[in-house]
Amino acid sequence: MDFASLMSSEISKKTEPTAAVSVPESTKSYLKRADLEAQRHQAYLDDQAALQRAREAKLTQKRKRDDEEAARSRERDEKRRRLAEESRLRREADEEKQERARRKRLGLPDLPPKDAIKEGSPLAEGEEDISAPDLVSKLRSIKEPVTLFGETHKQRLRRYKRLTAALSIQATTFTSGPIATSLDPVPESDMLVPSTLPPPKTPERTFIFRQLASYFNMLLKEWSHALSTRSESVKQSFQGKAALGAMQQSLTNLRPLFQKMESQTLEESILEPVLEIVRAAQERRYVDANDGYLRVSIGKAAWPIGVTMVGIHERSAREKLHESDKGQAHIMSDEVTRKFLQSIKRCLSFAQTRWPPEDQGQLMG
């Protein structure tokens, strides 16, 4: 074999195709830039979507918290408004109650109900209407505006009645005594009350009320004068201050009695013993006046003393203890009555020192 054939045989061996080796795609050692960019873009989109979901969840929670806080705030505001309204209504009710009590104490006409003075409401039954020309002339006679802005005839009529009521209250005259009253005073020579009680709603009954009011005002004035003439050391002492407090408390507690006498609504069961007490005090029979006070305050009812129930059986005389309570309540069970009766007793104690009796046996202990 020559050299040329040998070289060609060797070259042919070297150039024979080898079996193709299948390489899996996953074992590639390179990636395309487009694939990398697509993967990076997809990861970015996934991150942004997760951030958006988290942001939306946070916004949802914040909105829920804001709604809950707004609901709580509305509830607090509503509760605060309701409490303020209730407080205002209670304050107005208390002020109206105090005003009614003041008017009742001073003998002034009572306040009209709120429904009756509400503007625009129809006239109440029995309320007198006034024609427009007469109403205009009446308003001009008291120097008031004929018509206010937007005022109707009913509102003008109610305004006129309010004004006339206020003018009538101002025209009421009161005495200048310790307790202001509309009862005309009587001179000291005519203050002696009768021993018998005249019928109600008569001039004699009214004159008795004037006598009682004048007597108590005179007594309170003398009491106040006696306290004011004391020395300064006595005034500053404990006993001096207690005496002044007793006089001032008596003056306050006697006002309901004056008011009942002004309106002539004092009960017969109270007026008769008060008349007896005042009559005895004016005659300087202070022991008899004290007995009258004890009869009206304690009465003649049987009072239980000691042990009243020692067994399980009802005794024959035990039911007599409460027989007097079955008909009516005791006179001292009323707080207002109890206070002005005790004030009358204090006035008796001062009267016997200011006008001592000739008979020393008529001095109260």
pLDDT tens-digit readout, 93-143: 888 888 888 877 776 667 666 554 444 455 555 567 788 888 888 888 888
Helix (H) or strand (E) holding 355: none
By CB atoms closer than 10 A (0-12, 13-18, 19+), residue 271 is: buried
Instruction: Please calculate the CA angle 81-85-90 and round it to the nearest 5 degrees.
Output: 150
Nearest alpha carbon to residue 160 among 141, 176, 178, 187: 141
* pLDDT higher than threshold 70 for residue 160: yes
Mean pLDDT computed over every residue of the chain = 80
pLDDT band of 180, cuts 50, 70, 90: confident
Tell me: the pLDDT tens digits for 27-80? Answer: 667 778 888 899 999 999 999 999 999 999 999 999 999 999 999 999 999 999
Neighbour tally for 225: CB within 10 Å:
10
pLDDT for res 302: 55
Contact 348, 293 (CB under 8 A): yes
pLDDT for res 43: 93
Nearest alpha carbon to residue 108 among 51, 58, 171: 171
pLDDT for res 21: 45
* pLDDT higher than threshold 70 for residue 244: yes
Nearest alpha carbon to residue 138 among 120, 164, 102, 99: 164
> For the chain, where are the alpha helices, taking DSSP H only?
3-14, 33-106, 132-141, 153-171, 203-228, 232-236, 238-253, 255-263, 268-282, 286-297, 324-327, 335-354
Neighbour tally for 331: CB within 10 Å:
17
pLDDT band of 20, cuts 50, 70, 90: very low
**112 HSE (CA, 13 A, CB side):** 12
* pLDDT higher than threshold 70 for residue 360: yes
pLDDT for res 193: 87
Tell me: the pLDDT tens digits for 254-299? Answer: 888 888 888 888 888 888 889 999 999 888 898 888 888 888 887 6
Q: Which residue has the tokens 């007995």?
A: 291
pLDDT for res 62: 93
pLDDT band of 174, cuts 50, 70, 90: low
Q: What average pLDDT does this structure show over 304-325? A: 56
Which has more confidence, 20 or 134?
A: 134
Contact 281, 357 (CB under 8 A): no
* pLDDT higher than threshold 80 for residue 87: yes
Residue 205 identity (one-letter amino acid): R
> Residues with Cβ < 8 Å from 74, sequence gap 6 or more?
none
pLDDT for res 23: 46
d(CA 163, CA 173): 18
Is the pTM above the cut of 0.85? no
CA of 365: how far to CAs of 222, 330, 348, 349, in Å?
22, 26, 12, 10
How large a percentage of the chain has pLDDT more than 90? Answer: 15
pLDDT for res 323: 53
130-155: string of b/e by CB count within 10 Å (b at 16+)?
beeeebeebbeeeeeeeeeeeeeeee
d(CA 135, CA 129): 9
d(CA 212, CA 214): 5
Q: What average pLDDT does this structure show over 236-256? A: 90
* pLDDT higher than threshold 60 for residue 84: yes
